[in-house]
Amino acid sequence: MTKFRKRIPQLALALCFILLSACQPTPEERLNKAEEYIASANYRTAVIELQNLLQAAPDNAQARLLLAQTSYQLGDFSQATSQFERAIGLGESDASTWIAFGRALLSQGKAADAFERVAPNLDGMIDNVAVLEFLGDVQYSLNNLDGAEGYYSQAVAISQTSVGGLIGQAMVKANRGDRAEAERLLDIAAQHNPDASSVWLARGQILQADRNFVEAASAYDKALSLQTDHTPLAEMFSSRVSRISALIDSRQLDTAEASLVELRTRFPDHPVSDFLQGRLAFAEGDYDNAQMALQDYLSKNAGC
């Protein structure tokens, strides 16, 4: 009887463990829930769901792939790269996954890695527009304009509405000083892809490089108006930063100030905001605050 009484707590603990385990969602249920969160652009909650799933089933290739894609949306390119690698190792190795892996590398400025580690796995897919657009972007990032133009032209030859191909061709033309042809290509891209914010981002970049700051700010405005909750966070951020910079350079300082407040609200504590605050204060002649803001920026980026 005494031995039985001593075993009662152990039995109760085991029973609780069994009951708790039975209440836990299955990997399939977690995966379905994560997909629902992704569909509603609730990426941060999707990441938590996927991480919980992978603790129980670390070799779930689909979950790895979704975590990679979701991390990319949130601008966590290092995590995205790691998860794409693991998903590929688990068999998720189609062209779209290799391209996504490559774009995560490009987003970190690792064009050489994308060329060496990703491009060879896309050999023989020259009839795939997405592959050609990606290979063009790799060559463009490596400053090989001839190689980039070749891939972009092949993409447009296959699909005249290829937004990546048309934008790529425009950027190459702009780099070579043919601004008129660049504008023509972007007009075609916008006509075929009226909801593509990337067309207007490219236009803003070209205009800003030409010091047409007022028109550049307008182009970034258009890009922002076309972005949705499913637009990658890094693109949302860079669009706003570029717009504020163009507003400062065009002396639209009140609008720049309001836009900077919005940037800080949406992306709190980001050091780039300190840099922009310094630029804005300098443009307003407030040199003391400009110095303070730029010192804050430098202190947060001391290791860069």
The yes-or-no verdict on residue 268 having pLDDT over 70 is yes
**Least confident range of 19-23, 63-67, 173-177:** 19-23
Residue 139 within a domain: yes
- Assess whether 89 and 138 both reside in one domain: no
Q: How far apart are the first and last CA of the chain?
A: 69
Q: Cβ(255)–Cβ(276) under 8 Å? A: no
* pLDDT in the model for residue 21: 47
Using the 3D structure, point to which of 193, 216, 237 is the last residue of a domain: 193
- Assess whether 129 and 164 both reside in one domain: yes
* pLDDT in the model for residue 287: 87
> Which pLDDT tens digit goes with each residue over 181-198?
999 999 999 999 999 999
CATH number for the domain spanning 38: value is 1.25.40.10
For residue 82, which of 70, 123, 94, 131 has the smallest C-alpha distance? 70
> Which pLDDT tens digit goes with each residue over 239-259?
999 999 999 999 999 999 999
Using the 3D structure, point to which of 193, 226, 242 is the last residue of a domain: 193
Residue 245 within a domain: no
Our count of domains for the chain comes to 2
The yes-or-no verdict on residue 264 having pLDDT over 60 is yes
* pLDDT in the model for residue 4: 46
> Which pLDDT tens digit goes with each residue over 73-119?
999 999 999 999 999 999 999 999 999 999 999 999 999 999 999 99
Residue 282 within a domain: no
Q: Which domain holds residue 51?
A: 24-108
Residue 113 within a domain: no
Using the 3D structure, point to which of 193, 211, 231 is the last residue of a domain: 193
Q: What is the mean pLDDT of residues 150-162?
A: 97
Label residues 63-100 b or e (16+ Cβ within 10 Å = b): bbbbbbbbbbbbbbbebbbbbbebbbebebeeeebbbb
Q: What is the mean pLDDT of residues 219-229?
A: 96
- Within 193-286, residue ranges assigned H as helices are 197-209, 213-226, 233-249, 253-266, 271-283
> Which pLDDT tens digit goes with each residue over 136-151?
999 999 999 999 999 9
Distances (CA, A) of 146 to 118, 124, 155, 205, 260: 20, 20, 14, 20, 38
Confidence of residue 15 (pLDDT cuts 50, 70, 90): very low
Residue 216 within a domain: no
Residue 302 within a domain: no
Q: What is the mean pLDDT of residues 152-166?
A: 97
What is the DSSP code (8-state) at residue 177? T
- Assess whether 64 and 92 both reside in one domain: yes
Q: What percentage of the chain exceeds 90 in pLDDT?
A: 79
The yes-or-no verdict on residue 8 having pLDDT over 80 is no
